[in-house]
Chains A and B, each alone.
Chain A
Amino acid sequence: MVVSDAPVGASFRVIRITKGKEVGKRLADMGFTEGAEGEVVRSGFLHDPLQVKIRGYDILIRRSEADDIEIAPLGNWPAAETAG
């Protein structure tokens, strides 16, 4: 499961970044590292980009980048308004 699978309002715990090099390194440097907890806050008009809360601050990432972040769900995920 990756961040782009999470519906708006869902909390998650990062398992791993599946990509290295520039994109993966940037995501890791911004705080998406193993064990970090976050939440999908909202998504844009065509469900892209995503606003994600990580390590207590907010970040915007494209869905294509969110695909590289493997996660495990935390708590109950809202089913209604999915980000995907």
Chain B
Amino acid sequence: MSEVARSILRVALAGNPNAGKTSLFNALTGAHHKVGNYPGVTVEKLEGSRIRNGREYRFIDLPGIYSLTAYSMDEVVARDFILDEKPDLIVDVLDSTNLERNLFLCLQFQELGIPVVGALNMSDEAAAKGIAIDVEALSAVLGIPMVKTVGSRGNGIADLLDCLDSAGNQQAATFNNSHASHSIHYGEEIESRVKPLEAAIAADASFATRFPPRWLAVKLLEKDANAYRRLSSHKNADGVAAQARESVAWIEKHYAKDAEIVISEQRYGYIHGAAKETVTLVRRPTLSPTETIDKVTMNRFLALPIFILVLWGVFKLTFALGAFPQHWLELFFGWLGGAVASVVPEGFLRSLLVNGIIAGVGSVFSFVPLIVILFFLLSVLEDVGYMSRAAFATDKFLHAFGLHGQSVFPMVLGFGCSVPAIMAARTLKSRRDRIVTILVIPFMSCGAKLPVYVLLAGAFFPKNAANMVMLVYAVGVVISLVSAFVLKKTILRGDPTPFVMELPPYRAPTLRGLLWHVWEKTSQYVKKAGTVIMAAAILIWAITAFPIYALSPGEVDSLTTAYKIKNAGADQAALASYMETARAGAALEHSVAGSIGKFIQPVFRPLGFDWKISVATVTGFAAKEVIVSTLGILYRVGTEEDEQSASLREALRADSNFTPLVAFVLMLFVLVIPPCFAALSTIKAELGWRWLGFAFLFMLALGWCLCAAVYQVGMVAGSALHTRAA
């Protein structure tokens, strides 16, 4: 089969993290991108294409990895893609300043039996550091064509494409032959074990067309669980596996080391030999700017304060800058609602359009400015290289609670809004760490919970309002750390994820790269969360609007009379507003939401909640600040009360059921119970239905138990005090 005929080349782009893969991908593909997921996992898959000299190049971006073991999801995804999808070529992006470790991955791709082209990226940085690479000699020694590139500036892209072009033109057979003679040599002892194993695997010819025998032989010697699973379709699977195990035992006896370590050592030995001949340090490196900066930012005593300062800055900037566009969007959707209301006659359709759909879409889009700004700032920190420094500063403390140094950013963002915070947890590489982090983020009180705290603290603890709010925030932090600890000890137990993290030098981010990150994250949010949040907003609207209930003339009369007796001399406007609130209250009380609230009220009795509070917690799923306006309606104060409303505070205090204890328990309840629909749908998008279900039940159970305990203890303590006083 001749490859000359190929008009489409499928090229996988691989490489270490921090090797400049994203900027090279952008330089190669221009603006033609498609974002998706690898099948079955949440690892992002980027595709892009380029047409050149009548040939289409389809680039697939593989996750940034250091090796091809079965330990990390990213590594499994990259390896499965190569084995199962069989791209025509692999471009391995190499950080020229750090060649030995980067070649470690490159040579593993070579073993997979698909032509590899090496992009010696960041070649300008290497030159500045005094590292001279003899490209031709290195290519010849390794049997891998290499090209110097600078992805951030687009240098060397034409050369790289020329190289791909000629690699694609070669007949597959020719390439494979030259490649076979060039694959890595593990030393005589290991080779004496690899070769017989390779032959045993190749004995099943149809199996050998699917999996390169040499690669699989080496993987079996590395005790790779995934390789043993793939072997199961071999004709003589048991025989080969037994031979492999026997060879592993021989190697471990011979070297007195684990076989998987021996293989890595031999690989590095081979690379070191190749590099010694071709890479030279033309002058001694001077103290780099990175080292100078790190003397401050990674100082034992300064690292943590500096991190807190950076975090505070990101937090302040996001919510300060985000407030303006967020307000404009709210104004716009408010105006749109009003405009629609003026055209559509009053009734079901208007209510659905204005209160359901427009309000729902509005709530989705009001988060967008926050996400854009937040991800822009986070991308700056990530591209600059600060994230590893942040992990360095915080890992010791967070590790004690079963979290990871990298959990800190998402968790603190949770004080602003859980939606971007949950998305930010993607920076965590280990799935278990990511799950734990996402599950505890909602306990960091978000901005929407604050109005509820302010209302209740202001009404019931006027002298200590600020302290009460702080207390609830602190309780939230404690709950998140303790839950992380418990989750890591129970359902998410496992070997501790190793904290082995590269500390890249500081690098200037490119605007293009930053904008690309922001666009990618934002469009995903709008697409994934948008549909669910909108559906949820419509659902909440429906259960509060139906069934439609109107006050009977008799009820109107008696309410009017009662109001007039109580407020002698009140004007018509006051009466009208009172009646409007009364109508809204009656409608809500008789709606599905009201019925749910009343139905579940017995469940809430041990917490001291009456039906009004129960209804408010149900509507709170739309957004936590809705609890305040719902209480305003149910306490007949007004339809649009906020947390500063004096009359709402008074009305709450006047309710004999609403004691300071109930208020405190309600604050705790709002803190712990599942977050709003926006956050829930984000959890679903990130972790899937099963973890969403777990998170929901976990928070509900924890909230109920904690609040019931506090209320019951409070009641007993209260009555004891009362008895003593009497």
Contact = CB atoms under 8 A, between A and B. Distances in A.
Co-assembled chains A and B: yes
A58 B392 contact: no
B91 interface: no
Interface in A9-37: 16-17, 19-31, 33-34, 36
Given A20-B260, A59-B500, A60-B501, A25 B100 contact: no
B391 interface: yes
A56 interface: yes
B100 A26 contact: no
Contact of B66 (A21, A29, A33, A58): A29
B106 to A, nearest CB: 13
Interface string B248-273: 00000000011011001100110000
B298 A42 contact: yes
Given A26-B498, A31-B100, A44 B300 contact: yes
Contact of B104 (A16, A29, A65): A29
Most chain B CB inside 10 Å of its own CB: which residue of A17, A19, A29, A31 = A29
B152 interface: no
A4 interface: no
Contacts of B100: 31, 55-56
B397 to A, nearest CB: 9
A62 B258 contact: no
B264 A29 contact: yes
A61 B499 contact: yes
Given A31-B268, A43-B300, A49 B261 contact: no
A21 B303 CA distance: 32
A5 interface: no
A67 B495 CA distance: 16
Interface string B61-104: 00000110101000000000000000000000000011011001
B298 A22 contact: no
A56 B503 CA distance: 12
Given A22-B495, A28-B260, A29-B67, A61 B500 contact: yes
A49 B98 contact: no
B102 to A, nearest CB: 9
A26 B69 CA distance: 9
A73 to B, nearest CB: 21
B264 A57 contact: no
Contact of B265 (A34, A57, A59, A61): A34
B101 A49 contact: no
Nearest to A52: B503
A59 B396 contact: no
Nearest to A81: B300
Interface in A41-84: 42-46, 48-49, 51, 55-62, 64-65
Given A44-B395, A55-B101, A26 B261 contact: no
Contact of A33 (B258, B268, B396): B268
Contacts of B395: 44, 48-49, 60, 62
B188 interface: no
Contacts of B261: 16-17, 20, 24-25, 28, 33
Contact of A42 (B257, B258, B300): B300
Given A55-B100, A65-B499, A33 B264 contact: yes
Contacts of B67: 25-26, 29
A8 B267 CA distance: 29
Determine chain A's interface SS by DSSP, over half rule. Answer: mixed
Interface residues of B, number: 42
B34 interface: no
Contacts of B399: 62
A29 B396 CA distance: 24
Nearest to A48: B396
Contacts of B571: none
Contact of B396 (A46, A58, A61): A46
Interface in B378-417: 388, 391-393, 395-396, 399, 405
Contacts of A20: 223, 258, 260-261
A22 B429 CA distance: 14
Interface in B473-487: none
B393 A44 contact: yes
Contacts of B500: 23, 26-27, 30, 59-61, 65
B495 A59 contact: no
Contacts of A36: 268
Contact of A24 (B258, B294, B392, B504): B258
Contacts of A58: 502-504
A22 B258 CA distance: 11
Interface string B91-125: 00000011011001000000000000000000000
B361 interface: no
A20 to B, nearest CB: 3
Nearest to B392: A60
A77 B301 CA distance: 23
B419 to A, nearest CB: 30
Nearest to B301: A45
Interface in B299-332: 300-301, 303-304
Contacts of A55: 98, 100-101
A29 B393 contact: no
Interface string B328-366: 000000000000000000000000000000000000000
A59 B303 contact: no
Nearest to A28: B264
Given A28-B261, A29-B264, A60 B98 contact: no
Contacts of A64: 496
A16 B265 CA distance: 10
Contacts of B499: 49, 60-62, 65
A31 B396 CA distance: 24
A67 B653 CA distance: 61
A49 B501 CA distance: 10
Contacts of B393: 44-45
Given A20-B260, A44-B395, A26 B301 contact: no
Contacts of A22: 69, 71, 495, 498
B300 to A, nearest CB: 5
A57 B392 contact: no
A21 B502 CA distance: 20
A49 B304 CA distance: 13
A45 B258 contact: no
A81 to B, nearest CB: 10
Nearest to A31: B101
B219 to A, nearest CB: 12
A61 B498 CA distance: 8
Nearest to B299: A42
A51 B264 contact: no
Interface string B273-299: 000000000000000000000100010
Q: List the 10 shortest-distance A-B pairs measured between CB atoms, nearest first.
A: A20-B258, A28-B264, A58-B503, A29-B67, A33-B265, A62-B499, A60-B501, A33-B268, A57-B98, A23-B498
13 contacts: A22-B498, A24-B258, A25-B264, A26-B66, A26-B69, A30-B101, A31-B268, A33-B261, A33-B265, A43-B300, A49-B395, A51-B392, A56-B100
Given A22-B69, A60-B391, 6 more contacts: A23-B495, A26-B69, A31-B268, A34-B265, A36-B268, A57-B502
Interface of A: 16-17, 19-31, 33-34, 36, 42-46, 48-49, 51, 55-62, 64-65
